[in-house]
Structure 1
Amino acid sequence: MREMNTKFIEELRRTCESTNINFLLGAGCSFPAFGTLGNSERLWEQLKQDGADPGIAAAAGADTDEIERLIEAHLKAEFFTGAILPNKTYRGDRTKSTMQTKTNYQSFCIASMKLAAKREASTLPKQVTFFVTNYDICMDVALDQARIATNSGYTGRFNPVVDLSDFGRRVTASTLALGYQSEIPSANLVKIHGCASWRKMEGHIEFTNEFDLIEQIEKKIEDIRQAAQLPNPTQAPGLQSGLLPSSNIFNDLVNEAAGQIHNFNSDSVKDLLDLLNALQIVWPTKEKFQDTVLDEVYYAQLRRLTNQLEVRNSVLIVAGFSFADEHIRKLILRAADTNPTLKVIILCYNIQAQKDIRDNLEKEVGSKLENLPNKNIVTVTGSKRKDGSQIDLDLKTIAALLKKVIK
């Protein structure tokens, strides 16, 4: 457990000078423009494991499957509204929250690339790999605006197809007169869980700047909301983010769905789920590892993460990621155990986030992180202000930290 002080910054500088640099960015990095997962994964797990109480369904005169389908559509619509829909307007959005996220990403992007750009040794690549678990285009836009050569896994110009052989290519420039070659700093951008800008076309996945599917889903959700209005105009069928009133308690969702099931058209709910499932993303459920393995693209990206962490003298800097994601958590812990030259530095938003992250990791390994054989996982919190309060480690603060590292 470390604090972001002068000593830590100096150690991080030495680490980045001599290692292969990797970042893992979670949903917390895209706040406030995009929402975080919240309790979505836990509620999905309860839906899959427990399901709706048949007694509640019988009392409502409804089918259990219909109630469960409505709850699934609600949870996915709620998640879609916070984590997917803002992509449609992100590039041109000038609202305060979006501009803040854009500025944070751009500052972070430029600072993190300079970690590799300042290297003198030719044996180490002037390349940084960003593993992103979000579905948004924030990092894509930041790298593009910073004019950084990026391997994004796309090949083609007019119909870019997701092709993971693109990762790892290094870029050099040469003078015409002398033939001198020098490496240009470049980035690998790996979207582990897919992206809102991906679509499946004729058996493969393409990258697109058209968000027509997102627009279809947005309209379908709004149509269902309008059709499901209750007789009393003062009562809304749900909050704006989903189809039902938002709740963190699964039984409340079951009761709400049972009470309102007759206000929803069953075929419309099925159609909405079909549209949502057409998104080329891995939904945040306990089944996502199986979903990932089934799809060659997702599986290959996980393999890329594994391979990067097995490289000698590598560092993985984690930000905005809670380690609640079971399969990525296991993957990183296994790599830290088998590769003693790997350093995992977890930048925690605050003390509570540090506690939650350590709980997730220590529950997995069954011991304190300090007791692991290689002792190569460290959690870091912000430094203290003069009044004793702790600085939150958001993406803006992390960018400022990296600027100190590269001085």
Structure 2
Amino acid sequence: MTESTKMAKQISWIGDDFRAAFTSYLQSGNINFLIGSGASMPAISVAFDIETQIDALVRAGNIQEANAIAYGFIRDLIAGSSAGNENPNGAMTLEAYKQFIAALDQILFARKSSLLPRQATIFTTNYDPFIARACSQTAGLVLNDGFERTSETPLSQTFRPERFFDRTYRAGSVFGRKSELPTVNLVKLHGCLSWVKEDSSIFLRSDELNTLSDADSKNPVKVEEFLVRCFLILPNFRKFHDTLFERVYYDQLRIFANSFEQENALLIAIGFSFRDEHILEITKRALRNPTSQIVLPAYDAAAADDFLKAFEHQSNVLVAVPEDGEIINLSTFASLLSSVSPLDAPK
């Protein structure tokens, strides 16, 4: 097949053909997800051009105004990430993530072949903590989020990316038979609200991130101090204002690129538009692995067209198209995932 005749395939979301193909990929693939801001709706609004706005202000030298907009963006993220009674959208979004993680846990648990790990990796550009919360509320699931948890440092959980891909086993008390526990690697490509920067290290917060008072939010010095401690990689121009941001960002992008080096690497993107040109380019290069496969459940018909155009020369991309007037969101996808029979992977 020549480069000009290669193209992404589209298939109806509703129907046996997609279910059969998707089930086959899940059974035999090393499972990876790419989660974008669309998955956290309605709790978190899609950022649209917020990074472009901030970037333009920084380039023009309007640092205080850029910081004020960045703070307002983070303040809204904090409010949207709440899952209490005062935020029904947050509770709804958390429930969708819990359904998604529970379905993934079921699929991983059912794997019997030692050739495939009971492990999946979730890459996300989202700053919100919904995925980690959902994992923590799924009994028996192990979360590798890149932080080292030891009895010596219970309140200072330090970011150690080498912790990703650790596999956890449980041994029986009588015969010592080992069984692998389902594990999720959570790679936060752009940082997280729950991360805090202290000197040259990143720690996981032991408490909730609080917003500034009304008076402090109007104080440029207080706003700057707030932003410095937050480990959120915002617009491109400001991503690397110190080497720690640069190192963490590129280390995690390298993990994303390397995930495609696995045999039968499977990537499923939910709520991600691929408008991030850096991630799009890495993904296209990685698809040169002929055993890799990407599945893109499109939010709507317009998103399906965008995917088909973005991957028009990649034949190992499958775009799932919803019916007219329908959408595919995280909750819709979680329902499908939970209904897929978790048959044994081929041995």
Paired residue for 1:8, among 15, 18, 27? 18
Q: Distance in 1 between matches of 2:272 and 2:243?
A: 19
Larger strand percent:
2
Q: Percent identity?
A: 29
- Aligned-partner SS, 1:124: coil
1:28-39 matches, within 5 Å, as 28-39=38-49
Give the number of the structure with larger relative contact order, counting CA–CA contacts within 8 Å between residues 6 or more apart.
2
Report the counterpart of residue 78 of structure 1 in structure 2: 72
Q: Distance in 1 between matches of 2:241 and 2:227?
A: 18
Aligned 8 A contact 2:216 2:222 in 1: no
Q: CA deviation at 1:85?
A: 4.2
Report the counterpart of residue 7 of structure 2 in structure 1: none
Report the counterpart of residue 402 of structure 1 in structure 2: 337
Q: CA deviation at 1:69?
A: 2.8
Say which one has the larger Rg: 1
Q: Distance in 2 between matches of 1:91 and 1:161?
A: 26
* Letter in structure 2 aligned against 1:69: I
Report the counterpart of residue 212 of structure 2 in structure 1: 218
Label 1:289 to 1:352 Cα distance change in 2 as closer, same or farther (>3 A).
Answer: farther
- Aligned-partner SS, 1:344: strand
1:312-391 matches, within 5 Å, as 312-336=263-287, 338-359=288-309, 361=310, 369-372=311-314, 375-382=315-322, 384=323, 389-391=324-326
* Letter in structure 1 aligned against 2:12: E
Q: Distance in 2 between matches of 1:292 and 1:334?
A: 26
Larger helix percent:
1
Q: Distance in 1 between matches of 2:45 and 2:189?
A: 18
Asked if residue 179 in structure 1 is aligned to residue 176 in structure 2, the reply is yes
Paired residue for 2:144, among 123, 142, 151? 151
- Aligned-partner SS, 2:166: coil
Structure 1, residues 35-85: CA drift from partner, whole Å, max 9, x if none? 221221332344456x3xxxxxxxxxxxxx4xx234313431332133244
1:194-343 matches, within 5 Å, as 194-211=191-208, 214-215=209-210, 217-219=211-213, 222-223=214-215, 268-285=219-236, 288=239, 294-336=245-287, 338-343=288-293
Aligned 8 A contact 1:293 1:299 in 2: no
Structure 1, residues 307-354: CA drift from partner, whole Å, max 9, x if none? 111212110000011111121111111101x31111111122111222
Label 1:162 to 1:93 Cα distance change in 2 as closer, same or farther (>3 A).
Answer: farther
Aligned 8 A contact 1:167 1:188 in 2: yes
- Aligned-partner SS, 1:196: strand
Query: Number of residue pairs matched?
Result: 327
Asked if residue 112 in structure 1 is aligned to residue 63 in structure 2, the reply is no
- Kindly report the root-mean-square deviation, in angstroms, between the aligned alpha carbons of the 2 structures: 2.3
Structure 1, residues 204-255: CA drift from partner, whole Å, max 9, x if none? 11101323xx42x432xx2267x7xxxxxxxxxxxxxxxxxxxxxxxxxxxx
Aligned 8 A contact 1:128 1:188 in 2: yes
- Aligned-partner SS, 2:260: helix
Aligned 8 A contact 1:36 1:82 in 2: no
* Letter in structure 1 aligned against 2:20: E
Aligned 8 A contact 2:239 2:245 in 1: no
Asked if residue 139 in structure 1 is aligned to residue 90 in structure 2, the reply is no
Report the counterpart of residue 129 of structure 1 in structure 2: 121
Q: Distance in 2 between matches of 1:332 and 1:98?
A: 31
Structure 1, residues 80-136: CA drift from partner, whole Å, max 9, x if none? 13324444xx25455321111111000011112222222222111011111111111
Label 1:129 to 1:291 Cα distance change in 2 as closer, same or farther (>3 A).
Answer: farther
Structure 1, residues 343-381: CA drift from partner, whole Å, max 9, x if none? 11112211122234445x3xxxxxxx3433xx1122222
Unaligned runs of 5+ in 1: 52-64, 228-267, 362-368
